[in-house]
Amino acid sequence: MAEAERPKLLVVDDNESNLDILLGLLADYDVIVALDGHSALDLLRQETPDVILLDIVMPGIDGYEVCTRLKAHPRWRDIPILFITAKTDEASLVRAFDVGGSDYVTKPFRARELLARVRIQVEYHRAMEQLRRMAVTDELTGAHNRRAFFELAGRLFEDAQARAEPLAALMLDLDHFKQINDGYGHAVGDAALRQFAAMVQALLPATHLFGRLGGEEFALLAPGADAQTATELAEQLRAAVAELALAAAPSHLRMTVSIGVATLCEGAADLDALLRQADARLFEAKRDGRNQVRRTARLSTRASAERSGGGCAGELRP
């Protein structure tokens, strides 16, 4: 678990004797060091510290400017910045907060004060990270929740469209799920949903997006997947679900899933249209007996697929 890891700090200071003192004081932390603002910004492309300790007066870009740039960027703006400074005048300290700093410590350092301020920022950052994770996660299954799924899916759709790359959507719905809840109780039903989601996530590449839309309905976006790849994935998932031995349920009890598949190449104008196509095929899979994958390629969509550009060649097979 991330919470158990040693907190990581980035210390940015151009004065090496200051750095030596800080490294001594912060011996319980995993500390990385940068000697100026530009190196700090470079380092942050590979490292994600819990807190940044940032000197104000440095050659090149000063601490205020480094802070301003970090706060303007979604990837870094949530990392708390603790200014370290010899400046104790009110205007300098107020400016530290104005540019987005969370706190400051003044030089020369008082060891226990420094450690207390660092610890508070680390705890704050970790608590906020946990809240952010909870806000995007479906509590029962650990899959993305509905809101997070649609937000991330929108970006994947736009990326795929802009680069003319394949993208497939799968709509998945567990069959007769109400009978599991009604027949064996909600604890068994909940455990089945968790098992299903864990199994799907274990089978998916990291590039794929998986979310619970509600109840026993899930959706999946597969970047780079053409119709054949997506259909193979859907079939793999369908077969794996049918094999799943359900925890806390009678050993004979099996669960099945119906899946509808649609691809961007078929000409969907937006994410909603793509998901609607997949949903219509899910409906067909249900209607035709469940525990199956539907991916109907209609020849009438060939013209729009060709218009939509690269990545679609040879995609449409009836």
Residue 71, φ and ψ in degrees, nearest 5: -70, -20
| Residue 59 C-beta: closest distance to Mg ion, Å | 8
Residue type, 44: L
CB closer to Mg ion out of 14 and 216: 14
Query: Which stretches does DSSP call E strand in 136-234?
Result: 167-174, 209-214, 217-223
Q: Does 253 bind Mg ion (CB under 5 A)?
A: no
| Residue 165 C-beta: closest distance to Mg ion, Å | 46
Residue 113 is among the residues annotated as catalytic for this protein: no
CB closer to Mg ion out of 34 and 58: 58
Residue type, 238: R
* 3-state DSSP of 81-113: EEEEECCCCHHHHHHHHHCCCCEEEECCCCHHH
Integer Cα distance of 193 and 31 in angstroms: 41
Exactly one of 216, 232, 243, 266 is catalytic; name it: 216
The DSSP bridge partners found for residue 262 are 169
| Residue 41 C-beta: closest distance to Mg ion, Å | 16
Integer Cα distance of 277 and 283 in angstroms: 10
Q: Which stretch binds Mg ion (CB under 5 A): 8-16, 69-77, 89-97, 140-148?
A: 8-16
**Exposure of 287 by Cβ count < 10 A (0-12 exposed, 13-18 middle, 19+ buried)?**
exposed
Q: Which of 90, 83, 43, 92 is nearest to 63 (CA)?
A: 83
Residue type, 278: A
Q: Which two tokens stand for residue 208?
A: 């794929």
Q: Which two tokens stand for residue 126?
A: 């970790």
- Contacts (CB under 5 A) with Mg ion, residues 159-188: none
Q: Which of 192, 190, 191, 210 is nearest to 200 (CA)?
A: 210
| Residue 12 C-beta: closest distance to Mg ion, Å | 9
| Residue 15 C-beta: closest distance to Mg ion, Å | 5
CB closer to Mg ion out of 14 and 279: 14
- Contacts (CB under 5 A) with Mg ion, residues 11-70: 14, 55, 57-58
Q: Which stretch binds Mg ion (CB under 5 A): 10-18, 92-100, 170-178, 306-314?
A: 10-18
CB closer to Mg ion out of 23 and 57: 57
Size of the site for Mg ion (CB under 5 A): 4
CB closer to Mg ion out of 12 and 209: 12
Q: So which residues are the catalytic ones?
A: 216
Residues of this chain that bind Mg ion (CB under 5 A): 14, 55, 57-58
